[in-house]
Amino acid sequence: MSRTPEMAGDIDATGWLTVAARMASPNCDPRPMGAEIRLLVLHSISLPPGEFGGDDVLALFLNRLDTSLHPYYARLCGQRVSAHFLIRRDGRLIQFVPCTLRAWHAGASCWRGAERCNDFSLGIELEGDDFTDFADPQYEQLAALIAVLRRHYPLRAIVGHADIAPGRKTDPGPYFEWSRVATD
């Protein structure tokens, strides 16, 4: 049985989950003064599209992606993006940005009339796409991570990227089983 954050970790005073692998992304900045973390945004990502298990997502979030490796990557040249967490297909958890800082995951976005969702949200990337079922270990790790985050932050909702950027984003996609996540 794998260790999950709920069983074996907590968030430290600087916003890092004690049991997650840490890969600090430069793609973050301070949250606005007084911003309260109240939203959790779920994403999906695979690089190249539809391929899982490689290190290109990590490289993207660390600004180290060699855009000559794949034709799709030309559109990512100069992109500066990140998320707080990535859950790999096998359930491994990586943290790129401490929860205390603003990760650059949502882009132009709006939730219940509030724009700039990065200001008041945490972003979780799931290794996946719009055409593939997510793996059981991902759902297990996601549930455990949500439990830890709820103990620390007054989360009011869990939404998909598509919910806060409709028409622009589709993730986590039609194969994400929302019934497996306690969203309220």
Give, as one character, the DSSP assignment of residue 15. Answer: S
| DSSP E strand stretches across 23-146 | 28-30, 39-45, 85-87, 93-95, 101-103, 110-111, 114-115, 121-127
Where helices occur in the chain by DSSP H, the ranges are 5-8, 56-61, 136-152, 161-164
| Exposed/middle/buried for residue 67 (C-beta within 10 Å: 0-12, 13-18, 19+) | middle
User: Is the C-alpha dihedral spanning 84, 101, 75, 114 positive or negative?
Assistant: positive
Which residue's entry shows tokens 């019934």?
179
Q: Given 125, 127, 140, 177, which residue is catalytic?
A: 125
Please say if 125 is a catalytic residue.
Answer: yes
Identify the CA nearest to 138 among candidates 173, 93, 183: 93
Q: Give the catalytic positions in this structure.
A: 125
